[in-house]
């Protein structure tokens, strides 16, 4: 149960890891909570005092200019592709809000807001919004210092290296005696690709034994061992494989180099930040569980 509880909060942390979440939970119409003498976008009952500049009235609801601007900023923060910065775009978005309010009013007139499924959904949404907000509050101000990023890089720099890819040619024959004869000719200067076309029994023979760029982890063990110690241009000794006796030549090696810190700086920073945030939420969840009285009947979960 401890693990599940922690995973639950960790999932919420991922959802709450940026300020965009705040915009997602701003109500569309003016709420009753004022903000610097300006209400957020939300409904106002007829006769209620409206804080801010009235932009639109929809029956008994009001949209203020100030709350509309807040909503625009919240929407634009969700994606760089969202732009509501022209008169036509703002008119279109305002029309969307008006239509949304009209539908909400019609839903209330039909009593839809009284339906159990709707009330339950609203309650679950409220719970989710409250949990996300407390996650934002708990993780606010957490930072990662440059020294921490550099230390992590120095300790794990090899983990950032791209997997090595090697271009290899192969010759496969049915007996060790034939393989020895071929290896001698190769060491005396015979062209590897030509010999592969003439003598190899592998399907790659038609391509001069060319396997293209491969990862050693994708090949069988003896193949990987033979190629790993070769530099570009070198030919391997004979080794046994699933199709017979092999001789390989390394044509090219790519990857395997460690990128400079500048290339992975942001990746490390974001990873360390998420780790710190996760630890903070774990501390919160542990404290809440420790201070609470919890009774769970797991035997009912069948």
Q: Is the pLDDT of residue 5 over 90?
A: no
Give the residue-averaged pLDDT of 178-195: 96
pLDDT of residue 254: 81
The single-letter DSSP state of residue 13 is H
Strands 61-64 and 210-214: unpaired
How do the domains of the chain map onto residue ranges?
Answer: 2-139, 162-254
The architecture that CATH gives domain 162-254 is Roll (3.10)
Q: What angle do CA 203, 208, 212 make, to 5 degrees?
A: 80
- Is the pTM value of this prediction over 0.85? no
* Whether 262 contacts 239, CB under 8 Å: no
Please write the tens of the pLDDT for every residue from 75-123: 999 998 999 999 999 999 999 999 999 999 999 999 999 999 999 999 9
pLDDT of residue 274: 96
Share of the chain above pLDDT 70, in %: 84
Please write the tens of the pLDDT for every residue from 249-264: 999 988 777 889 999 9
Residue 43's closest CA among 102, 94, 87, 96?
A: 102
DSSP reduced 3-state for 250: strand
pLDDT of residue 159: 87
Question: How confident is residue 47, by pLDDT bands cut at 50, 70 and 90?
Answer: low
B/e letters for 75-104, b = 16+ CB within 10 Å, e = fewer, are bbbeeeeeebeeeeeeeebbeebbeebeeb
CB count within 10 Å of CB 150 equals: 13
Average pLDDT, the chain: 85
């Amino acid at each position: 149960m401890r693990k599940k509880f922690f995973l639950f909060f960790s999932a919420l942390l991922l959802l709450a890891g940026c300020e965009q979440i705040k915009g997602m939970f701003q109500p569309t119409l003016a709420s009753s909570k004022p903000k610097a003498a300006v209400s957020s976008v939300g409904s106002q009952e007829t006769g209620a005092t409206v804080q801010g500049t009235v932009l639109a009235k929809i029956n008994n609801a009001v949209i203020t200019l100030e709350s509309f601007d807040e909503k625009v900023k919240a929407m634009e923060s969700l994606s760089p592709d969202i732009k509501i910065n022209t008169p036509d775009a703002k008119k279109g978005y305002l029309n969307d809000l008006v239509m949304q309010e009209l539908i909400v009013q019609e839903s209330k007139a039909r009593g839809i807001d009284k339906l159990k499924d709707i009330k339950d959904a609203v309650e679950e949404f409220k719970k989710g919004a409250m949990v996300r907000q407390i996650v934002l509050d708990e993780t606010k101000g957490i930072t990662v210092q440059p020294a921490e990023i550099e230390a992590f890089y120095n300790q794990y720099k090899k983990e950032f290296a791209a997997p090595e890819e090697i271009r290899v040619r192969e010759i496969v024959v049915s007996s060790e005696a034939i393989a020895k004869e071929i290896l001698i000719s190769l060491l005396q200067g015979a062209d590897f690709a030509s010999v592969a076309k003439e003598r190899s029994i592998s399907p790659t023979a038609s391509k001069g034994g060319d396997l293209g760029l491969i990862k050693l982890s994708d090949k069988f063990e003896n193949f990987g061992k033979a190629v790993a110690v070769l530099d570009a241009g070198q030919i391997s000794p004979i080794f046994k494989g699933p199709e017979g006796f092999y001789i390989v030549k390394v044509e090219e090696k790519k990857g395997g180099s460690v990128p400079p810190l500048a290339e992975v700086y942001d990746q490390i920073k974001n990873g360390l930040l998420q780790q710190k945030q996760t630890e903070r939420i774990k501390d919160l969840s542990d404290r809440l569980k420790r201070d609470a009285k919890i009774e769970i009947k797991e035997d009912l979960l069948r």
